[in-house]
Amino acid sequence: MNLFAWFALVSYSLAFLIVLAFSIAYLKRSDFMPYHGIAMGRRWSEVEPRTQVLLLALIKVTGAAWLALALAGFFLLYWLFSADGEFVQLIVFQLFCLIALSPPVAVATYVRKKTNAPTPVRSAVLLVILSLLGFTFAVLSGRYI
C-alpha cells in the first residue's frame, strides 16, 4: 500500500471514528446535549417527563444509528482496502459516505439557523471533508484505476 492509499485509509477511518465517538456520546446520555437545551430554550429539568422520555428515545436511536453507520463504514472500508478493489467499488463506498455523512450537516445547520444554538456544524462538515479527502487520496493511490 503506497502513501496515498494510507492517507485515504486514515482519512476515512478518522471520519468513522468521529461518528463512533458521537454515537457513544449519544448512547450514554441521560438528558439532552447542551445545544439541544439552547435550541429548546429550556433546561432538561424544565421539560415535561413524557417529553423527556420521547426526546431521550430519539437521542438513543440517533446514537444507535450512528453506531450502525460507523460499524458499516469500518466494515466496508476493510472490504475496500483488503483486496484489489475496482473504481466502481470506491465510487459506491464514497456515495455511501456522502449519503450517510451529509444529513447531519443539513440538520445541524437548520437547527442553528432557526434557534442560534451552537450545533456541531463544523464537526459534521469535517466528516464530509474527511471522506472527500479519503476519496481523493484513494484515486491518487492508483489502486482503483
The domain ranges of the chain are 3-26+64-141
What pLDDT is attached to residue 1? 86
Cell reading at 49: 417527563
CB distance 39 to 115 below 8 Å: yes
**DSSP classification of residue 138:** H
Q: Which residues contact 85 (CB under 8 A, 6 or more apart)?
A: 143, 144
Q: What is the pLDDT of residues 40-82, one digit of tens each?
A: 999 999 999 999 999 999 999 999 999 999 999 999 999 999 8
**DSSP classification of residue 27:** H
Q: Which residues contact 11 (CB under 8 A, 6 or more apart)?
A: 130, 131, 133, 134, 137
**Distance between CA atoms of residues 47 and 91, nearest Å:** 45
What pLDDT is attached to residue 59? 97
What pLDDT is attached to residue 5? 96
455511501: which residue's cell? 96
| Percentage helix, strand, coil for the chain under 3-state DSSP, each rounded to 5 | 80, 0, 20
**Going along 65-106, which residue ranges are E strands?**
none
Q: What is the pLDDT of residues 81-97, one digit of tens each?
A: 988 879 999 999 999 99
Q: What is the pLDDT of residues 3-45, one digit of tens each?
A: 999 999 999 999 999 999 999 999 999 999 999 999 999 999 9
Q: What is the pLDDT of residues 102-136, one digit of tens each?
A: 999 999 999 999 999 999 999 999 999 999 999 99
